[in-house]
C-alpha cells in the first residue's frame, strides 16, 4: 500500500480558482458577517492551513457566531442531519 501524500494530494487542482494570494484584496481578507446571515463555503487553496474539507465546497450555511477570527456556521446535509463547522472568513462568501 502506498503512503499518503498529505491532505491536498490531487486536490489542489480541484480547489484552485487561479487566484494568487497577491491578487486577493484586503476586502477578501477582512469580512464581517452577522449572525443569521447565509454564506457559501468556498475553500481557497492558497490558504491551506485552515481550509474546510472539499466536500463542503459550494454549500450554503448559516452563520451562528464568531470564534476568534473564524465563524461558526451550520449547514444541512440532509433533512435530519446538520453539521457545524468553524471556518475562517477568507473561505466564506455572501449568499
pLDDT digits (tens, 9 = 90+) for 65-83: 999 989 999 999 988 999 9
Distance CA 73, CA 41 (A): 9
- According to CATH, the superfamily of the domain at 12-94 is Ribosomal protein L21 (2.30.30.70)
**Whole-number average pLDDT of the chain:** 82
Q: Is the pLDDT of residue 12 over 90?
A: no
Residue with cell string 433533512: 79
Q: Averaged over 22-49, what is the pLDDT?
A: 79
| Residue 34: Cβ-neighbour burial (10 angstroms; 0-12, 13-18, 19+) | exposed
Q: What is the pLDDT of residue 5?
A: 72
* CA terminus-to-terminus distance, the chain: 42
Q: What does the pLDDT read at residue 38?
A: 97
pLDDT score of 28 more than 90: no
Amino acid at each position: 500500500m502506498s503512503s499518503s501524500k498529505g491532505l491536498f494530494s490531487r486536490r489542489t487542482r480541484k480547489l484552485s480558482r487561479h487566484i494568487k494570494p497577491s491578487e486577493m484584496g484586503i476586502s477578501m481578507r477582512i469580512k464581517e458577517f452577522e449572525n443569521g446571515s447565509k454564506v457559501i463555503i468556498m475553500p481557497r487553496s492558497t490558504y491551506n492551513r485552515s481550509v474546510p474539507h472539499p466536500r463542503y465546497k459550494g454549500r450554503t450555511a448559516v452563520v451562528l457566531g464568531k470564534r476568534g477570527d473564524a465563524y461558526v456556521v451550520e449547514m444541512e446535509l440532509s433533512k435530519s442531519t446538520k453539521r457545524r463547522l468553524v471556518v475562517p472568513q477568507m473561505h466564506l462568501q455572501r449568499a
